[in-house]
Structure 1
């Protein structure tokens, strides 16, 4: 179920941009086709060319040592992948639309090779340090992906259908190394009959419910928009918050 990476306008000063979704009753195959069509017709307003501000603000909390393994779910062609890679880490993304992977390597002038697996098509750099698996997020081979020290989740949990959240979180939990750092960007607002996402409303209480068994939460930043913002008004919302949350092992200091 491919969802691209960025929901907001600028790295330093986030501004909401349109992000429409297929109908909620659509099958997984239908969802993939819908997002494939968006990429094919250039309707990817969510994709931006700046490294996300949360990574820049909280790099030291997230990247605590060299040579980490980083996972970016539903990655699109996010420039954040290259940012992690340039810092010397091993980066793995999962994306449902193959065009996004091709464009990523082309736009960054990265030589790459491909490999057809039974469950995905793999695009990877020649040094094997940057990998994008093109597949259904819910059919990933967990053993092949391995464990990750860092997860960067932006535009992913907020886009997952409500009925898929527990399955999604179960997959993410299974990929976490023992001393992981999981940086999560979520939107928080009161849904109404005109707008319920994506980006979907992910209250802090829901994060606790989904991850609290193994994680402790720390809110790092919040950004606020009110109905004075044109897009918030168009969605008939009173306000919307973007909240940056750091998840760490429950037993960590």
Structure 2
């Protein structure tokens, strides 16, 4: 899930965005449901007005980027991405970014907000995929009478990649491929129906609110997809809410470290790195006041199959 103005409504737990006091439009029966289906997410997006503001990256992503990605460029997975500006930020750093979202509306809105990202939409066996590509660099070479030439460097999108040169009496336009690598892709599909091996392998993953939002019954499949997508020596950023009131309704789910350990098969949990650990607790925040409850905490974890 995303953060800031471009992300999901439920994601920024530190600001209490799921709190009806902070967001009156959230005060209805849907927001009190403990388990959301894809239809519920569709309804949520229909209720929340589209904000064309692109927003900025999650501050935790910026803060911990070196811990998540010791070297760049890398291949990064963003599950349940919504219209998160985190994807654009990671992409602009030269990384290959692949998001997955269950509802198409926020994906369309992401590309409407980032209209300079020219893309195609293709069907796949388990849904569809939006791919950024077919961007060209345009060189205009002007022929002056005295023989001097000037070059103007601008971006020029085209739907015909086979046309690379437009001759003229006074100037020539050369179209040079700028982005054919499809470094930004967003799949629209049911996360639990992604076939094994379909997404390839990643160096890292950035999970902002996805694990805490998915239905408890779907968590095993969610974790299976995530672990299948992670390559050797991966690092996975996981934002999780925990120790909330036992009778609390709505999202995000409060998930104990015990559940987290059983779901992911974690060896140990500690607040510092160590040779035998594969989880690092980067930070923990008390968000009880924002949610107007007696206890509620937000932790940022880094998981890996290797020592940190």
TM-score, with length taken from structure 2: 0.69
Match of 2:101? Answer: 95
- Pairwise CA RMSD: 2.5
Aligned to 2:126: 119
Structure-1 residue corresponding to 2:261? 208
Q: Deviations over 1:206-231 (max 9, x none)?
A: 2222223577111001111234x4xx
Task: Return the offset for 1:173.
Answer: 0.8
Deviation at 1:196, TM superposition (A): 4.0
How far off its partner does 1:143 sit?
Answer: 2.0
Tell me, which stretches of 5 or more residues in structure 1 are unaligned? none
1:29-61 residue CA offsets vs partner (Å, 9 max, x unmatched): xx222211222232689x982311211111111
Q: Which runs of 5+ in 2 are unaligned?
A: 1-6, 19-25, 134-179, 268-276
**1:158 corresponds to 2:212:** yes
- How many angstroms does 1:24 deviate by? 5.4
Q: Could you say if the C-alpha distance between residues 79 and 122 of structure 1 is closer, same or farther in structure 2, counting changes exceeding 3 Å?
A: same
Measured against aligned partners, the alpha-carbon deviations of 1:142-187 in whole angstroms (never above 9, x if no partner) come to 3221011111011110011111111211111111101100000111
State the distance in 2 between where 1:123 and 1:54 align.
26
SS of residue in 2 equivalent to 1:54: helix
Q: CA deviation at 1:115?
A: 0.4
Q: Which has the larger radius of gyration?
A: 2
- Please state whether the residue corresponding to 1:65 is helix, strand or coil: coil
From 96, 104, 120, the equivalent of 2:110 is 104
Query: Are 2:196 and 1:142 aligned?
Result: yes
Q: 1:216 to 1:5 in 2, by over 3 A?
A: farther
1 CA distance for matches of 2:59 and 2:70? 18
1:70–1:90 Cα contact (<8 Å) kept: yes
Label 1:162 to 1:147 Cα distance change in 2 as closer, same or farther (>3 A): same
SS at match of 2:278: strand
Does the 8 A contact of 1:159 with 1:197 survive in 2? no
TM-score by length of 1: 0.83
Q: How far apart are the structure 1 equivalents of 2:97 and 2:56?
A: 18
The question of whether the paired residues in 2 share the 8 Å contact of 1:216 and 1:248 is answered with yes
Matched, 1:240 2:296: yes
CA contact (8 A) 1:208 1:217 kept: no
Give the aligned partner of residue 176 of structure 1: 230
> 1:152, 1:182 within 8 Å by CA — same for their partners in 2?
yes
Is the CA contact (8 Å cut-off) linking 2:79 and 2:99 kept in structure 1? yes
Aligned-partner Cα distance in 1 for 2:105–2:35: 25
1:219 to 1:156, Cα distance in 2 relative to 1, 3 A: same
CA contact (8 A) 1:5 1:75 kept: no
The answer to whether structure 1 residue 71 and structure 2 residue 68 are counterparts is no
The one of 50, 58, 61 equivalent to 2:56 is 50
Structure with higher helix content: 1
Name 1:7's counterpart in structure 2. Answer: 11
Aligned length: 234
Q: 239, 247, 256: which one pairs with 1:185?
A: 239
